[in-house]
């Protein structure tokens, strides 16, 4: 294994988080090596930032201490793939794009479309609870995860779940690591169930005069029998609704028709058959304030009003998921406390996905924060994993 | 202990919810499993979350074991008060608090019966997707505690895929809300470990659940086989072809005749194996899948493929499947049931092995199970009055379960670990894995009062105080697979 003297020499600068640079970079090639690194770091109280492709490090605060970047990209093997069982097990450093390519050769996929799939690693995407518009139709990665092998903060290697689609043996510990931002352990290997690629995928795009008109159409589009797999309203220079269907060609065809009819009041409607371009997620500029906003589904329209009143430069609304992602100039951060108060009245929240240093990223902690802290102390007793970076310290 | 516990409970809750006469307690000494029994010291039947919390607090302070119980249909001993203590029955918490047809959710108390929720949601064209065979009795709280499955979880996922939030009473009586109506609220997914924790981390008293739109089209088929391998190979082929039926069930051998005798649904009593296949979705999808499935059934050797002609016939076929365990009482009076899972492609060899084991141990084994998931339910039938029958059944069962593990599978797909499988957990998890599970348990329940000695391999603090196995109940109408 290589700690600070590898081939090729790791560029320390490539592992910057905010202004901070690590003292060392480790690039383990096996799970056992990851365990060695974390056990040693725990003994010496060295602060570790687990690192996938680094595409989502901006989601949390820069570390208080940063001794070691733990680059997991050499753990990039497909361990087992059983197409006939629709199950795949991979090491966590493989990129989602590389995994999808392997699956596509057998006519299968993981219906999961988070940003930057070509580079972002499975481990990093899971640790940061990354998702994309397909979550509407297929659920999130939590619904596709069958099992996981994790190296806990103290270097113990632990697994949970299994390799079959149904399993109630032991606790579902793997779910705890999903969205934990590496504060409980480092995800080392993951088993997913996968799905056959749909026969056809196609979309309708429509331009509306107002967000309210688009939301109205979105509600109509979601009525049974239609089962859109993705639905987003983008509010920028124009208000655009995009809806995606997947499945048997004839069923997709009928749903495209129903969706087009539901968009009767739109200013313009376009059918997009090869729609990959339409659903590619654009990257956000570094100097923006980006908020992820969640509300109960029935509060979505009211929340959209509250958010659009703050004039975001770009807003994506996900009807059916109760989620929004909005972008503002950094100066808009002064509105955050008031917005949080409004959203709290709807049982909602706003999380800062990108923002200026020192901003309160998560708002008030959940009432069960004591349980979360107790769990973290069990699995990362030395507090070496991403110290100061996330909600649970 | 018992007198202290009763006295302390009577001080804080309405005496009407405290059961302590022996004839009352006896109703709570068993569940749907057969090998395990244990007498509670006292039982409470609270009507509110606050009453549950008050009772938990009392037991916690006295260090008494606390065992939550729904309808008691569990098949692994999870709700059996093996170590005595307090049983909290949640069946009076049986109100559906709200159904939100826009968000497609329902807020329910833990004691709501699974089917009752789907019946109430039907007026909105919605249903609660998890459909364990016990669904006419089992409760949402119990479904959550065991992460219940059911035939239709092949397409729609298990209980954990359908729970958004839960009100939970923790070991010390504190009431918390885990999860949220809102996606991705920051924090660890504590709800994720609570589901399937069999009452060892807390007691769910209320839940916010997802409701699923009823499909536009449904078709149900019975594929009939004279050859076991042909049937199991068809199952593997359907999955391998990328077809995801709503349900794909298999009935083998003597079980078919027993089910038919019970429900007269048109199951061919003389067949070697049948597949009960259901597909649903949009009309076009169902039409396309029906053709593919018919072709595969023929290709892999089905003697005949029958389609349910109407809803009544469909309901009858399902009644037969879901009532299979009770129907098998016709074969022998006692049973032991396993719940192993294998990769779908390994089904043929596991079914062959099951038959071989049955012959070798001279025991009747009926397999009526969730073939599409690879979730076997070998039902070992015997008569206790025959010396050695129980021992042979347990040995046969362990051999089948070992084979599931060797094939890359697991020891329980949906019934849970409870008492029956806790000592098998080491077959699939190493010491470090088990220690990580124990860590989670210690976070939620540092004093170890919540359903002690269940789910994880029994430690030195867990004396085996199980009652003698001589008192086994016969197969009856109160159990489902």
Phi, psi of A61 (to 5 degrees): -65, 155
Under an 8 A CB cutoff, do A171 and B440 touch?
A: yes
Residue-wise pLDDT for B51-61, tens only, equals 999 999 999 99
Domains of chain A by residue range: 12-71, 78-196, 200-279, 288-354
Q: A131: which DSSP letter?
A: -
List chain A residues with CB under 8 Å of B433: 158-160, 170
At residue B469 the predicted structure's pLDDT band, cuts being 50, 70 and 90, is: very low
Fold of A288-354: Alpha-Beta Plaits (3.30.70)
For residue B470, the model assigns a pLDDT of 39
Locus of tokens 């479309």 = A113
- pLDDT value of residue B461: 65
Please give the CATH number for the structural domain made up of A200-279: 3.30.70.920
Two tokens, residue A177: 């690591």
pLDDT tens for B292-304 read 999 999 999 999 9
DSSP notation for A320-368? TTTEEEEEEEGGGGGGHHHHHHHHHTTT-EEEEEE--TT--SS-SPPTT
Helix (H, G, I), strand (E, B) or coil at B406: helix
Locate B86 and state its tokens.
């307090």
The overall pTM is greater than 0.90 = yes
| Identical topology for domains A200-279 and A288-354 | yes
82-111 in chain A: CB under 8 A from chain B: 82-87, 107-108
Instruction: Answer whether residue B163 shows pLDDT above 70.
Output: yes
What pLDDT shows up at residue B478?
A: 63
Place of tokens 């789907």: B118
- Evaluate if residue B223 carries a pLDDT over 60: yes
pLDDT value at position A280? 80
pLDDT digits (tens, 9 = 90+) for B384-402: 889 999 899 999 999 999 9
User: B447 at the A interface (CB within 8 A)?
Assistant: no
Q: Rounded mean pLDDT of B169-184?
A: 97
Number of H helices, E strands in chain A: 11, 18
What would the two tokens of residue A3 be?
Answer: 């700690």
Collect the ranges in chain A with pLDDT lower than 70. 1-9
Q: Given an 8 Å threshold on Cβ–Cβ distance, is A322 in contact with B183?
A: yes
Name the β-bridge partners of A204.
Answer: A243, A271
Domains, chain B, in order of start with CATH, read 96-213 (3.30.465.10), 217-326 (3.30.70.2190), 328-406 (3.30.70.2740)
Distance of CA B444 to the CA centre of its chain: 23
Nearest 5 degrees, angle CA B391-CA B393-CA B398? 95
Q: In chain A, which residues have their Cβ closer than 8 Å to the Cβ of B125? A: 224
Tell me, yes or no, if B190 comes closer than 8 A to chain A by beta carbon: yes
The C-alpha atoms of residue B111 and residue B69 are separated, in whole angstroms, by: 9
Q: What is the pLDDT of residue B471?
A: 43
Which residues 367-406 on chain B approach chain A with CB closer than 8 angstroms? 370, 373-375
> What order of strands is seen across the sheet that includes strand B96-100?
B96-100, B105-109, B203-210, B163-169, B175-179
* Predicted local confidence at residue A153, as pLDDT: 98
* pLDDT higher than 70, residue B381: yes
Six-digit token string for B195? 């589901």
Distance from CA of A373 to the nearest CA of B (A): 9
For chain A positions 112-151, those within 8 Å of chain B (CB to CB) are 129, 131, 139-140, 142-143
Q: What ipTM was reported for this prediction?
A: 0.96
From 3.30.465.10, 3.40.47.10, 3.40.50.1010, 3.40.710.10, which CATH number describes the A78-196 domain? 3.30.465.10
Report the candidate in B288, B291, B293, B261 with the shortest Cα–Cα distance to residue B276.
B293
Taking CB atoms and an 8 Å cutoff, what residues of chain A touch B413? Answer: 164, 166-168
Q: How far apart are CA A347 and CA B240, in angstroms?
A: 43
Q: What is the pLDDT at residue B468?
A: 39
Measure the CA–CA gap between A356 and B69, rounded to whole angstroms.
Answer: 50
């Amino acid at each position: 294994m290589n700690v600070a003297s590898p081939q090729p020499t790791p560029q320390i600068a490539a592992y910057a988080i905010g202004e901070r640079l690590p003292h060392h970079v480790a690039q383990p090639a096996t799970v056992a090596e990851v365990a060695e690194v974390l056990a040693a770091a725990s003994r010496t109280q060295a602060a570790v930032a687990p690192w996938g492709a680094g595409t989502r490090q901006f989601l949390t605060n820069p570390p208080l201490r940063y001794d070691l970047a733990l680059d997991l990209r050499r753990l990039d093997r497909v361990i087992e793939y059983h197409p006939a069982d629709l199950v795949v097990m991979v090491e966590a450093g493989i990129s989602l794009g590389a995994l999808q390519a392997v699956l596509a050769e057998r006519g299968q996929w993981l219906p999961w479309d988070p940003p930057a799939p070509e580079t972002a690693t499975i481990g990093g995407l899971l640790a940061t609870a990354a998702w994309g518009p397909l979550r509407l139709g297929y659920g999130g990665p939590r619904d596709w995860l069958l099992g996981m092998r994790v190296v806990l903060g103290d270097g113990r290697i632990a697994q949970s779940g299994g390799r079959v689609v149904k399993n109630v043996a032991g606790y579902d510990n793997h779910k705890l690591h999903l969205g934990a931002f590496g504060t409980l352990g480092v995800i080392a290997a993951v088993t997913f169930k996968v799905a056959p690629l749909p026969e056809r995928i196609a979309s309708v795009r429509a331009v509306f005069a107002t967000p309210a008109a688009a939301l109205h159409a979105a509600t109509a589009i979601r009525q049974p029998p239609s089962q859109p797999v993705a639905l987003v309203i983008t509010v920028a220079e124009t208000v655009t609704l995009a809806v995606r269907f997947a499945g048997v060609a004839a069923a997709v065809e009928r749903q495209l028709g129903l969706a087009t009819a539901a968009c009767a009041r739109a200013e313009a409607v376009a059918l997009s058959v090869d729609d990959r371009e339409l659903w590619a997620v654009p990257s956000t500029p570094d100097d923006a304030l980006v908020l992820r906003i969640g509300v109960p589904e029935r509060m979505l329209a009211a929340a959209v009003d509250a958010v659009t009143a703050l004039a975001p430069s770009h807003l994506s609304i996900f009807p059916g998921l109760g989620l929004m992602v909005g972008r503002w100039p950094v100066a808009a951060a002064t509105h955050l406390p008031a917005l949080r108060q409004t959203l709290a009245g709807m049982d909602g929240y706003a999380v800062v996905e990108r923002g200026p240093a020192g901003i309160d990223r998560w708002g008030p902690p959940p009432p069960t924060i004591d349980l979360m802290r107790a769990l973290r102390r069990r699995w990362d007793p030395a507090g070496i994993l991403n110290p100061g970076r996330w909600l649970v310290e | 202990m018992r007198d202290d516990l009763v006295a302390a409970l009577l001080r804080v809750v309405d005496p009407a919810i405290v059961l302590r006469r022996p004839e009352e307690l006896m109703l709570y000494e068993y569940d749907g499993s057969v090998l395990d029994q244990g007498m509670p010291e006292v039982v409470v039947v609270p009507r509110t979350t606050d009453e549950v919390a008050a009772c938990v607090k009392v037991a916690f302070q006295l260090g008494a074991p606390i065992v939550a119980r729904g309808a008691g249909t569990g098949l692994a001993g999870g709700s059996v008060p093996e170590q005595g203590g307090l049983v909290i029955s949640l069946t009076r918490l049986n109100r559906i608090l709200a159904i939100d047809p826009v968000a497609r959710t329902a807020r329910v108390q833990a004691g709501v019966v699974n089917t009752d929720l789907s019946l109430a949601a039907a007026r909105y064209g919605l249903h609660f997707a998890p459909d364990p065979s016990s669904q006419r009795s089992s409760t949402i709280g119990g479904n959550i505690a065991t992460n219940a499955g059911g035939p239709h979880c092949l397409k729609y996922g298990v209980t954990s895929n359908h729970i958004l939030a839960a009100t939970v009473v923790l070991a010390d009586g504190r009431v918390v809300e885990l999860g949220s109506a809102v996606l991705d609220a920051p924090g660890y997914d504590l709800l994720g470990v609570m589901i399937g924790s069999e009452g060892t981390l807390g007691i769910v008293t209320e839940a916010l659940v997802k409701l699923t739109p009823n499909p536009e089209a449904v078709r149900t088929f019975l594929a009939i086989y004279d050859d076991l391998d042909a049937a199991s190979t068809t199952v593997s082929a359907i999955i391998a072809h990328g077809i995801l039926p709503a349900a794909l069930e298999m009935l083998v051998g003597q079980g078919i005749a027993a089910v038919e005798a019970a429900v007269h649904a048109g199951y061919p009593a003389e067949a070697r194996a049948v597949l009960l296949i259901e597909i649903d979705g949009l009309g076009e999808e169902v039409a396309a899948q029906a053709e593919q499935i018919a072709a595969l059934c023929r290709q892999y050797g089905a003697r005949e493929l029958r389609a349910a002609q109407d809803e009544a016939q469909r309901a009858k076929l399902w009644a037969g499947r879901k009532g299979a365990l009770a129907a098998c009482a016709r074969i022998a009076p006692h049973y032991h049931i396993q719940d192993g899972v294998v990769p779908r492609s390994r089904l043929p060899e596991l079914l062959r092995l099951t038959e071989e084991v049955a012959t070798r141990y001279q025991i009747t084994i009926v397999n009526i199970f969730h073939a599409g998931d690879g979730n076997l339910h070998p039902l070992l039938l015997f008569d206790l009055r025959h010396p050695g029958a129980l021992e042979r059944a347990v040995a046969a069962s362990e051999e089948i379960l070992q084979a599931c593990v060797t094939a890359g599978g697991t020891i329980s797909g949906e019934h849970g670990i409870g008492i029956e499988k806790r000592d098998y957990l080491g077959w699939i998890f190493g010491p470090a894995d088990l220690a990580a599970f124990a860590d989670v348990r210690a976070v939620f329940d540092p004093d170890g009062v919540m359903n002690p000695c269940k789910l994880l391999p029994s430690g030195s603090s867990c004396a085996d105080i199980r009652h003698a196995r001589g008192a086994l109940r016969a197969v009856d109408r109160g159990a489902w697979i």
